[in-house]
Amino acid sequence: MTDVTEHNDPIADETPVAPPKHAAWALVLICIAQLMVVLDSTIANIALPYIGTDLDIDSTNLSWIVTGYALAFGGLLLLGGRLGDLYGRRRIFIIGVSLFAVASAVGGLAQNEAMLLGSRGFQGLGAALASPTALALITTTFPPGPLRNRAFSVFAAMSGVGAAIGLILGGWLTGIDPDFGWRLTFLINVPIGLGAAYFAPKVLADSDHHAGILDVPGAVLGTAGLLSLVFGITRTGNQDSHGQPHGWGDPLALTGMIVGVVVLVSFVLWETRTKHPIMPLTIFRSRTRAVAFLSMMITPAAMFSMFFFLSLFVQNVMGYAPLRAGFAFLPFCFGMVFGATLASKLMAKVDPRFISGTGTLLGGIALFMFHRLDAATGPTDVLHAAQGGDHLGHTVSYWADLMPFITLMSFGMGMTFVPMMMAAVHGVRSQDAGIGSGVLNTMQQVGGALGLAILSTVAAHYTTSHLGTVGASLQGLGDQLAGVDQAALHQQTYFAAFSYGATHAFLVGAIMIWTASALIWTLLNVNKDEMAEVETPEGVAV
C-alpha cells in the first residue's frame, strides 16, 4: 500500500535500526534526562514567592523565571536538534546535560535577579541540546510498532509527570527552609545532570555524523524573533510605576511584538533560501506532521499555564504550605501515566485522531472547571483574612474542586501526547530525526512561553481591574478597617484580585486547548495502519 500524501516527501524515513543491546537502559537514561529538563519548567513555581522575597524580584517579573527558561529552551531547540544530526546525538546529549548541571549550580547560588535569570537562560540552552537528541535517540533506536509505541509512552509520561514531580519536589525542598530551600530546587539538578553525562557513553549508541553546514543565521533569527515577541506580549501584562498594566498600547510592548513578527518572517524567508536550513520547511509538507506540531504547540501552553496559576492559587488563595501545594499535584502523575499507557495500547487499534481528540476535549473540560473555582474573596473575607482568620480560599474543597480535574487534565494529556509525538516524527529520515524532534520540542516550549505570556497578560488585566473593585468595597467597611495591619490587608486584597484573574486565564486556556482539539478532529488524517508501517529507504510504505 502506497500513501503518496504522507510518505513521498524529502523527509521520509530510512530503514530503522534494530534495538541495541542496552535499549532498556538507554530508555531509562533518556527518560531521566527528560524528567530533569521538564521538571525544571515547574520546580521553581512553588518557590516563586520565596525567590521574589529573597532576591527582591517584583511580582510582575516572577513569570520570567518560568518564561525565560521556556523561551531559551524553545528558541534554541532547532539548533540543538541540528547539532545532534551533524555531530552525533550522544555527544550533543552529553554536552547538553553537563551544561544544564553547571547552569543549575549557578542558579542555586544566585545573589540577584540578573544572575538567576541568566542561569535560567543557560539551563534552557542545555535543555535545548539534550532534549531533541533524547527524543531522536528513541526514534532511531526503536523501530515502528509495539516497541516504539511503548518507548514513546514512557517518554510522554515522563514529559508530563515531570511537570507534576517538579511541583512536588519544589514544594518539599522549599519547605525544608523557606530562606534557602528554593536554592535546592536548582542545585538538585547538578548530580542528576552529571550522572547522566557519565553514564551516557556506557548505554547510548552514538549516531552517525552527517555532512552539512550549521545554519547559524537561521538560529539567530529564530531565537531573536521569539524573544522579542514574547517580551512584547509579556510586557503588556507587567505593571508600570503606578501599579497599572502597560497594556497593548504600550510603545515598548508594541515595538517588541512588531520586531518579533518581522524577524520571524525574515527567518522563514531565510529558511526557504539557504541550502542547509536549521528548520527545513519541507517538514511541514506532511499534513499529519503539521497538525501534530501545531497541536503540540497549543496544548502544552494550556497545561503549563495551569501549573503556574494553580500553584500560586493554592498557596496565595487557599493558604497551602509549599510541600502541601506540591503534593496537591500528585494525582497528575498517576493520571498521566495511565493516560499514556492506555494511548500506547490503543495505538494499534484506534486512529490517532480519536485518541488525541478525546484527550484534548478532556483537558479543556478540566481547565473550564478551574475557571469555575469560587473562592471567598469578598471584602468581608479579605478583611477577615487580613486579621488572621480563615484564608480566602476556605470555601474551595481540594477533593471536590481541584483533585478530580487535576486528574482529568493529566489523563487527557497522556492520551494526547503519545499519538501526537508519534505523528510528529512519523516518516522522518533517521538522519533528520534530530531536527524533526527539535521542531516538535520547539513547538512545545515556544507554545508554553507564548501561552504563559498571553495568559499572564489576561490574568494581569483582570487582576488589575478587580483590584479597584475590591478596594472600593473595602472602603465601604468604614470603622471595621481600624487597627487592621495595612500590609496584610493589601496582600489579601491582591490575592482576592489574583483569584479573579487566574480563573479568567483558565477560561482562555480551555478555549486554546479546545482549538487544538478542533484541529486534530478535522485535519489529522493518518490512520493506525500507517503509523505501524515501516518505511523503505525510498520512503514508500509497504
pLDDT digits (tens, 9 = 90+) for 274-302: 988 888 888 888 888 999 999 988 998 88
Q: Give the ranges where 238-351 is alpha helix by DSSP (H).
A: 251-273, 287-312, 322-327, 330-346
Considering only 229-238, 390-399, 465-474, which range has the smallest mean pLDDT? Answer: 229-238
Q: Is the pLDDT of residue 535 over 70?
A: no
What pLDDT score does 372 carry?
94
Strand partners for 245:
239
Q: Is the pLDDT of residue 477 over 90?
A: no
Q: 4-214+278-532 architecture in CATH?
A: Up-down Bundle (1.20)
Among 299, 292, 87, residue whose Cα is nearest residue 206? 87
Distance of CA 204 to the CA centre of its chain: 26
What pLDDT score does 3 carry?
39
Among 248, 267, 232, residue whose Cα is nearest residue 75? 267
Assign 2 a pLDDT band (cuts: 50, 70, 90): very low
High-pLDDT (> 70) share of the chain, % = 90
Cell of 300: 502544552
Rounded Cα distance, 59 and 63, in Å: 8
What pLDDT score does 60 carry?
65
What pLDDT score does 13 carry?
41
HEC string for 414-457: HHHHHHHHHHHHCCCCHHHHHHHHHHHHHHHHHHHHHHHHHHHH
Distance of CA 258 to the CA centre of its chain: 25
For residue 239, report the phi and psi dihedrals to the nearest 5 degrees: -90, 150
Instruction: Using the structure block, give the residue that is written with the C-alpha cell 546535560.
Output: 97
Q: Is the pLDDT of residue 404 over 80?
A: yes
Task: Check if the beta carbon of residue 424 is closer than 8 Å to that of residue 294.
Answer: no
Among 410, 416, 419, 425, residue whose Cα is nearest residue 351? 419
130-176 confidence digits (pLDDT tens)? 988 887 888 777 777 788 788 888 888 887 788 788 888 888 888 88
Q: Is the pLDDT of residue 42 over 80?
A: no
Distances (CA, A) of 59 to 63, 172, 279, 472: 8, 22, 36, 23
Distances (CA, A) of 3 to 148, 281, 290, 291, 292: 21, 20, 17, 17, 18
Dihedral angle, C-alpha 516, 30, 284, 520, nearest 10 °? -20
What pLDDT score does 72 carry?
81
More confident call, 418 vs 533 = 418
How many C-beta atoms lie closer than 10 Å to residue 489's C-beta? 18
Among 341, 308, 313, residue whose Cα is nearest residue 152? 341
Q: What are the structural domain ranges in the chain? A: 4-214+278-532, 215-277
210-261 confidence digits (pLDDT tens)? 666 788 898 889 878 877 887 787 777 666 666 667 777 889 989 999 999 9
Mean pLDDT of 67-83: 79
What pLDDT score does 6 carry?
40
Distances (CA, A) of 351 to 32, 68, 212, 294, 528: 30, 37, 37, 18, 5
Task: Check if the beta carbon of residue 391 is closer than 8 Å to that of residue 325.
Answer: no
Mean pLDDT of the chain: 84
What pLDDT score does 20 carry?
53
What pLDDT score does 430 carry?
67
For residue 372, report the phi and psi dihedrals to the nearest 5 degrees: -90, 5
Q: Is the pLDDT of residue 538 over 60?
A: no
Written as one letter, the residue type at 391 is H
342-369 confidence digits (pLDDT tens)? 998 998 899 999 999 999 999 999 999 9
What pLDDT score does 237 carry?
64
Mention every residue, 6+ apart, whose C-beta is less than 8 A from residue 192.
32, 36, 101
What pLDDT score does 432 carry?
67
Written as one letter, the residue type at 499 is S
